[in-house]
Amino acid sequence: MTPERLDVLFVSLFPSSPPTFGAQRRIEGLMRVLGRRHRVAAVSLVSPEFDAGLAEREMRRWCDEVVLVPARSDRSPVKRLLQLRALASRRSYEHHAFSDPALDRALAQVLGARRFDVVCLEAPFLVQHGVRRAPPGAPPPIVIVDQHNVEHQLARRSRDASRGLRRLHHAMNWRKIRADELDAWRCADGVAFTSVDDAEQARALVPEIVSAVIPNGVDVDHFRRRPDAPADRSRAVFFGTLNYFPNQDGVRFLLSEIWPRIAGAVPEARLDVVGPHPTAEVLAHRGPRIDVTGPVDDVRVPLERAGVVVVPLRVGGGTRLKILEAMAMSRPVVSTTIGAEGIAATDGRDLLIADGPAAFARAVQRVMEDPGLATRLGEGGRALVERRYSWVAVGAELERFVRSLGRAGAPELRPGAPAGAEAR
């Protein structure tokens, strides 16, 4: 590991670019800021829903090597077979879903041809792939697991918010995810968490864990509201990937229990639901006062015109990039406690926190009816992200963590790691 420049390999379950959802934004943000000073490469699975050619072109803007590995089919029959396999296994469904021989081969080729200082695994389920490899005679890389969420906590919360077969799946799977996740933490040289809460949860389960808090971030230059941009103070905006269960549950909560209260109290109120993959249930609510826009080319456009951004999440993990991006655009945010979890924001100064449909609706109504409050919240949120959540600051934290692990000396395999964790 040189004092000046690191060689960093990111390994992910999907391409980072162009980003359309939070996990992509985190990976791209870290790649881009590290790529300014260091050599960055990427190996990623790519499913048919992504444009592989576009993804590679975009990622090569900050990566000097990009390898995209076609993912195995996620068609329903294949998915059901994997779920049945997981039922009879001590391993989670996710472990089996991402056990991909083609990814093994790609990683073996990349790591065998070039020595990396650090490998960042963008999910704990990637630890099963052999990444502690190097060209002959070279020392192996440091291995970091980047925990976007505490996955087993997210699965347990999803169980509590689900119904029917989905609830049964999460009920049987979340403990297996926990076992896989704890194995990954013990195997890695270091683990990056997005919040202090997540890091403390992990330390309670694995006291020997070596970890750091590397929060989610935002490009504060890109996400900046134009001073003369018009906003509609009576327009609420929810944005996010709408086939992601925490967002599905949040939108269901918003449309069925919160929005009727807002619409009754504020006759001019309008709601925009923005994001890819809207479900039939969400689309059924379209009408004169509710617009379901689907995906947009630039999320800054609906954010700029928002009078208030709503984050009514009841399920979640890590920290919500949607809140940081809304704050960076100087938009007032109303969130549940879970929605704002892990973000060092002060209720009443940087955003409003409200739980329960009546309290949430009242908070949104306050923002719509009080322009001074809306302005103060927008300014407070913007100041917070500039101070603590720019990608430049976050990337510097990651670099410090990597270098601290290098000084400590990364072992071949951390004590307590499962014997088969690095070999298939």
pLDDT band at 89 (very low <50, low <70, confident <90, very high): confident
Distances (CA, A) of 56 to 6, 32, 63, 106: 22, 14, 9, 15
Residue 203 host element (H or E): helix 196-205
How far is residue 359's CA from residue 351's CA, in Å, rounded to a whole number? Answer: 14
Within 10 A of 105 (CB to CB), how many other CB atoms are there?
12
Question: Does the residue 324 lie in any domain?
Answer: yes
- The verdict on whether omega for the bond into residue 70 sits within 30 degrees of 0, i.e. cis, is no
Residues 105 and 237 in one domain: no
pLDDT band at 411 (very low <50, low <70, confident <90, very high): very low
Say whether pLDDT at 398 is over 90: yes
Instruction: Give the predicted TM-score (pTM) of the model.
Output: 0.82
Distance from chain centroid for Cα 421:
24
Within 10 A of 393 (CB to CB), how many other CB atoms are there?
16
| 184: amino acid identity, one letter | A
Average pLDDT, the chain: 89
What pLDDT shows up at residue 418? 34
340 or 227, which is more confident: 340
Sign of the dihedral defined by the CA atoms of residues 42, 47, 53, 54, in that order: negative
Residues 90 and 169 in one domain: yes
What pLDDT shows up at residue 424? 26
Mean pLDDT of 277-302: 93
Mean pLDDT of 228-242: 92
Residues 94 and 151 in one domain: yes
How far is residue 413's CA from residue 403's CA, in Å, rounded to a whole number? Answer: 18
Question: Does the residue 130 lie in any domain?
Answer: yes
Query: Which of 44, 193, 187, 64 has the alpha carbon at shortest distance from 116?
Result: 64
Residue 249 host element (H or E): helix 245-253
Residues 128 and 146 in one domain: yes
**Total domain count for the chain?**
2
How far is residue 185's CA from residue 179's CA, in Å, rounded to a whole number? Answer: 10
What pLDDT shows up at residue 420? 32
Residues 117 and 253 in one domain: no
- The CATH number of the domain holding residue 15 is 3.40.50.2000
Question: Does the residue 416 lie in any domain?
Answer: no
What pLDDT shows up at residue 320? 85
How far is residue 232's CA from residue 209's CA, in Å, rounded to a whole number? Answer: 48
Question: Does the residue 222 lie in any domain?
Answer: no
Residues 140 and 74 in one domain: yes
Distances (CA, A) of 215 to 117, 364, 386: 22, 27, 13
Contact 144/121 with Cβ under 8 angstroms? yes
How far is residue 273's CA from residue 281's CA, in Å, rounded to a whole number? Answer: 12
pLDDT band at 227 (very low <50, low <70, confident <90, very high): confident
Mean pLDDT of 25-29: 95
Question: Does the residue 179 lie in any domain?
Answer: yes
Question: Does the residue 415 lie in any domain?
Answer: no
Residues 198 and 252 in one domain: no
Question: Does the residue 41 lie in any domain?
Answer: yes
Least confident of 117-131, 191-205, 395-409: 395-409
Q: What are phi and psi of 335, to 5 degrees?
A: -135, 155
Question: Does the residue 413 lie in any domain?
Answer: no
Q: Give 163-187 pLDDT, tens digit per residue.
A: 776 676 667 778 888 999 999 999 9
Mean pLDDT of 257-275: 97
Say whether pLDDT at 154 is over 50: yes
Domain residues for the domain of 320 are 232-388
What pLDDT shows up at residue 419? 30
Query: Which of 40, 418, 405 has the alpha carbon at shortest distance from 192?
Result: 405
What pLDDT shows up at residue 363? 98
Say whether pLDDT at 63 is over 70: yes
Residues 41 and 145 in one domain: yes
What pLDDT shows up at residue 74? 59
**171 SS3 class:** helix
Say whether pLDDT at 157 is over 80: no
How far is residue 340's CA from residue 91's CA, in Å, rounded to a whole number? Answer: 31
Angle (CA) 45 193 302, round 5°: 70
Residues 76 and 133 in one domain: yes
Mean pLDDT of 12-33: 94
Over pLDDT 90: what percentage of the chain?
A: 72
Residues 264 and 176 in one domain: no
112 or 76, which is more confident: 112
Residues 257 and 353 in one domain: yes
Residue 22 host element (H or E): helix 22-35
Residues 236 and 206 in one domain: no
Mean pLDDT of 109-127: 95
pLDDT band at 350 (very low <50, low <70, confident <90, very high): very high
